Structure 1
């Protein structure tokens, strides 16, 4: 069933007002613009009422928004909505009825517009190609009578005609709006990652595709070209991370009617080999700890929180003095997928803590040169600081890039699980281990243990003998 709203927001040729007197008993009210008293943060629209044939009373019909709310100035919104209002009134006068099937009227109108377009195309071809006299006569029969001024406009050189004015915001303005709308929804670290990747993409666009000025010009092929370069210069995993960020941002744009469709969702992710944090042998771990006892005690305690409390490096960087309950030997921290989580501090780690009674509750537990102090740096920069310090240690002791701070977490979870499995069943050992590591499900823990090769079979030599 054809409805009137589809026609109002379409771009038709040769817009003219059709002035006709309304019937004595009006079937519809004159369309009006709702502008929210000039408030651009609210949605503007065109509205009208139509007489219900069953009740005989005027009924408010569906609001007409179109693309008006994509614009950020009053003048632009008034311009678009005025056009919608004008078209709506014209169609109503022609007999369009929101309570009836308007298919025949719709087809009649579209056929008329199609004929106009075809005639104009014929007109252009007759003026650009040499013709014989009888061909000119034939064409003249097809071309409808038009005003000289109209023909003159139509037959201008296409190269001299100005391109249509974009109906969407500029690319950077659209991106900034999406990032703004994510401000109170995502964590500061996540938003920082979004901003960094989106701005890098925008700089690439300005360098490679200068013609793409507005968000409506951006297509799937442009994003694919950028993602392919990321893959070739770094890794499939990094490319997939960019794609995930883009999909999030473009979904915000779609939800807020800035773009029509989030085409990023149709881009496939590539298979990527996950980064492997190799576990340390007992001798390797002891060698690192012995070295750090003399060279960097602060980094050693930082690593012990990863090793004994099974925290992630970033989670250790978030710890403050107020997060430690010295009476109950527990700590609260912001986990990867949870707002706040509580863990027991084992005695092997609690005994390593220095006297922190003089520290302020808001002091960070770890700073570059002191345990328990202030440090004006972001979480990411704090993690990077300790990461670089450990990289220097690895280089000095001869470890390659596969060994990381995260490797200590894998190492000690492996050691703990194997010790538990000696005097209990695998299921019992895993159940106890879940309480310590913080995995939410048994399936997640089992997958983790397989990934780090923590679960090994017993010696099966006797099965190989004849």
Structure 2
């Protein structure tokens, strides 16, 4: 009887923290010769050793089950290039289909918490995960994001971290704890959900969250040269061009703009009302600068019905809001083309506006009317994240 074409997977627990599962598979055409394959699948993003051990064991079991079912890594390599188009098409179809059997975020979180309890994790750990996942669900509700858990991508997570970090002025420790919790959640969910539905596929990449020291990058802005390159690209799409300019001139958040109706724009008083449920600190009013005034006229917003949304589901204001991902999906190919990482977002245009105004000499109190900060301490912290200081070491110092 011929020996098995593979050797049982095992866990390697390196002292450096680089854990992985290794298995060996017989090389095609070379009987008795095996090649080693190493799989990490996100387990090194988990820092709690007990949870990391559980994740590593599950990964090992998943790989062994796949091998028993006939998985051949060499065939997978051969098929990789030909599968790219099929996989991209499948992802696109998944977004378009309702995925009725897939967990929504609430179901996913409930099953994750139940799993943590069954694994007898520490009560404090389970309590922490409950708090973090409830906060994540709250953010989804506030932003009217109705997605299956398997559809959530890294840009969604970055938006959550960025918005809530600014809204609640998280400490570095709190921010890092949320990163750890989210990584654990989305490392675990694919395995939990695939136990009941083998067809479910998650396409989230949390590798960009690995650097815990880059907290200030949450407020990354576009330097002038980068901004000019992006402007050149977005001018090709008038709808996207208007949307980015609106963020820049108003400093409103994407979610605030999405919910903005024409009835909230007062051209006589030159101000826009942002509803309390969408802003950081209750109702606030955004001043309409000359540039924003011109954009409003350009879009003929003042000629539309009051209940229309400024950025509706068409090329012009309409009675229906655009879906949450609309402009992000338009913007993503431009970031890819220019080689910009995930810290550069549509929301970064707000930060770019702030930097531009302050470096041009506008007073902090004036800028705060745009950003929505009512607390000077919070605004100073926001400026530090952007590394804005017009006075220190930027003029003549001492020559060599």
> Which entry has the higher C-alpha Rg, 1 or 2?
1
TM-score (norm 1): 0.42
TM-score (norm 2): 0.48
